[in-house]
Amino acid sequence: MTGSAPLSVAVIGTGRIGARHAENLARFVPGARLAAVADVNLPAAAALAERLGTPRVSADYRELLADSAITAVVICTPTDTHARLIAEAAAAGKHIFCEKPIDFDLARTDQALAAAAQAGVTLQIGFNRRFDPHVRRLAAAVTAGEIGAPHLLRITSRDPAPPSLDYLRGSGGLFLDMAIHDFDLARHLLGEVVEAHATGAVLVDPAIGALGDIDTAVTVLRFASGALGTIDNSRRAVYGYDQRVEVFGAGGQVTTRNVEIDNVMVSDGRGRHAAKPLYFFLERYGEALVAELQAFVAAVQQGRPAPVSGADGRAAVVIGLAAKRSLAEGRPVRVAEIG
């Protein structure tokens, strides 16, 4: 609410995304105050805290959970710690913003959601693409009926380069690490997904296949409305971060294009030449990363539900698990089979 005191927030985990969230809280979210950061890598956390002028740093996040002056936490630790940290933060009475996914396992996911519900705290999951201004305009067009009833959804999501093998070992695989953003976006745009049919391959790096993962995939979704969706993913697009969405309906279509480094077009005797897309998610979704934290802080201060709830986070995991089972068993999988 207007005039309320800034929300005192601690960031747990100061890797790439944690450091960006900390910076955004310190500089671009007026309703928040970055009160502390925590990471097992204390020197890295201390350097970040010094750069941002943050008064407190710790190697043990439990110290921050025990601090009654801290009202909310942003969890940016490895995925296999998310559910446990959500439960611990909820028990400490902290409002929670947690990066995706909640967990790879539905039982642990449900335990975390139950803990947050029992404590009565706000829980928001970090699906930042919902907050991208281009996606917001596309979603508004769909909701307003500008293209009539949606029939087809197409999402292209390709990273500029694969992450490290160390990262991939604990990532949960392409469907739960990378495509989960697309599953959430698909559900956000067209409603509940009832079936996933996935196929995949190892075309980028054989070492990814040796880990039991894939680096290239196409997933066909069936929605409760009867509409269909296709999502294509690749771990490597040599020209940059490829992010495009199209919704086709009875009355037309609406699309988002890639965002380039600049909008300059050079035309010469060889043809027409333009800049590559922005390199990766920190650049492409920079505005969205700020907007999602602003929305979280506003939800807490105004006593409103989080705009991306724990139930939303669970639904994306269910679709990811359905896609994973579909790939393994070579058949369409109803999400009701997963839970």
Per-residue pLDDT tens digits of the chain, which is 339 residues long: 445 789 999 999 999 999 999 999 999 999 999 999 999 999 999 999 999 999 999 999 999 999 999 999 999 999 999 999 999 999 999 999 999 999 999 999 999 999 999 999 999 999 999 999 999 999 999 999 999 999 999 999 999 999 999 999 999 999 999 999 999 999 999 999 999 999 999 999 999 999 999 999 999 999 999 999 999 999 999 999 999 999 999 999 999 999 888 888 888 899 888 888 888 888 889 999 999 999 999 999 999 999 999 999 999 999 999 999 999 999 999 999 998
Domain(s) of CATH 3.40.50.720: residues in the chain: 7-121
Residue of 217, 206, 125 whose CA lies nearest to 178: 217
- Three-state DSSP at 244 gives strand
- C-alpha distance from residue 7 to each of 135, 150, 292 (Å): 28, 39, 15
Domain boundaries for CATH 3.30.360.10 within the chain = 130-284+316-337
Q: How many CB atoms lie within 10 A of CB 38?
A: 25
Beta strand spans in 99-207 (E): 123-125, 150-158, 193-201
Looking at domain 130-284+316-337, its CATH superfamily turns out to be Dihydrodipicolinate Reductase; domain 2 (3.30.360.10)
pTM of the model: 0.95
CATH class of 7-121: alpha beta
